[in-house]
Amino acid sequence: MKSAKELVTQANSRVKTVSVQEAAVLLKDPNTVFVDLRDSAELLRDGKIPGAVHVNRGMLEFTLDPTLPYHNPVFSSGKNFVFYCASGGRSALAADTAQNMGLAQVSHLGGGFKSWKEGNNPVEKQ
């Protein structure tokens, strides 16, 4: 059996990781969508990156699939997507899954929301 750490390491080898500094620049790009994968309780407690779309990690595959009623049309927009979670593990796995499902222009935020906040970047409260 593979450990979660091994799965994250493998995903990180296949997906692009953006730094907090790169993400801060991308936040101003209208063709980039940030996707917050954290649980709703985390969002309520800590806020999110301004303008981020929230998708619980457990529903990601269903929101990506355009043939399902759970599909979020933002994923059919042709935009660039930066996935993030609390520290970078879930987002690496999610970005890898999104790429495997055919979503183009996918990356994830290295260090996650924790690093975003530590960099004194803006946070939108829920």
Q: Where are the alpha helices (DSSP H) in the chain?
A: 4-14, 20-26, 40-46, 60-64, 89-100, 112-118
Mean pLDDT score across all residues of the chain: 96
Of the candidates 4, 85, 83, 82, which has an alpha carbon nearest to the alpha carbon of residue 38? Answer: 85
Residue 21 lies in a domain: yes
Here the CATH number for the domain that contains residue 27 is: 3.40.250.10
Residue 66 lies in a domain: yes
In angstroms, rounded to a whole number, what is the distance separating the alpha carbons of residues 36 and 51? 10
pLDDT score, position 125: 92
In angstroms, rounded to a whole number, what is the distance separating the alpha carbons of residues 40 and 26? 24
Percent of the chain with pLDDT strictly greater than 70: 100
Range 22-40 average pLDDT: 97
Residue 42 lies in a domain: yes
- pLDDT per position as a tens digit, 90-113: 999 999 999 999 999 999 999 999
- Residues of the domain holding 89: 4-118
Range 24-33 average pLDDT: 97
- Tokens 């609390």 found at: 86
Residue 125 lies in a domain: no
Q: Band of the pLDDT at 11, cuts 50, 70, 90?
A: very high
Residue 124 lies in a domain: no
pLDDT score, position 54: 97
> What is the dihedral sign for C-alpha 89, 59, 81, 85?
negative
Claim: this prediction has a pTM higher than 0.85? yes
Task: Name the domain count of the chain.
Answer: 1
The CA angle 39-43-44, to the nearest 5 degrees, is: 115
Range 109-120 average pLDDT: 97
With 90 as the cut, is the pLDDT of residue 126 above it? no
